[in-house]
Amino acid sequence: MNEKVEVQIGTRRLVVEMEGWTPIEINALAQKVSERVGQMQSHNTNVADTSKIALLVALSFAAELDRERSAHDLTRRLLENKAEALSESLRDSLKISDTNG
């Protein structure tokens, strides 16, 4: 069963329950969101509507997630290509050993 955790993001307090996350992890996430809210507010001083700030924060995290996924996909493809090249090299080496043996 998930535990309900009270967190503070900016000036707002809310109770959240997140499946698969511990209270410590939830608080750490809330802290990251709160920090990003502060950054967005300082960079967008003309935006007083907190819901707009929240949307900017969500967009910021979505962009960050997309960059991380792209980097992960690139790394995965590079590793797959390297593994295939090593496997091919090993097959070639084994063929040479079989013909010389």
pLDDT at 77: 97
The answer to whether the beta carbons of residues 35 and 64 sit under 8 Å apart is no
Structure-block tokens of residue 34:
């709160």
| pLDDT one-digit tens code per residue, 9-18 | 988 999 999 9
| DSSP string of 27-76, one letter each residue | HHHHHHHHHHHHHHHHH-TT---HHHHHHHHHHHHHHHHHHHHHHHHHHH
pLDDT computed for residue 48 by the predictor: 84
Interacting residues of 78 by C-beta distance below 8 A, sequence separation 6+: none
d(CA 58, CA 66) in angstroms, rounded, equals: 12
Q: Which run of H or of E encompasses 14?
A: strand 12-16
Instruction: Please write the tens of the pLDDT for every residue from 16-69.
Output: 999 999 999 999 999 999 999 999 999 988 988 889 999 999 999 999 999 999
DSSP 11: T
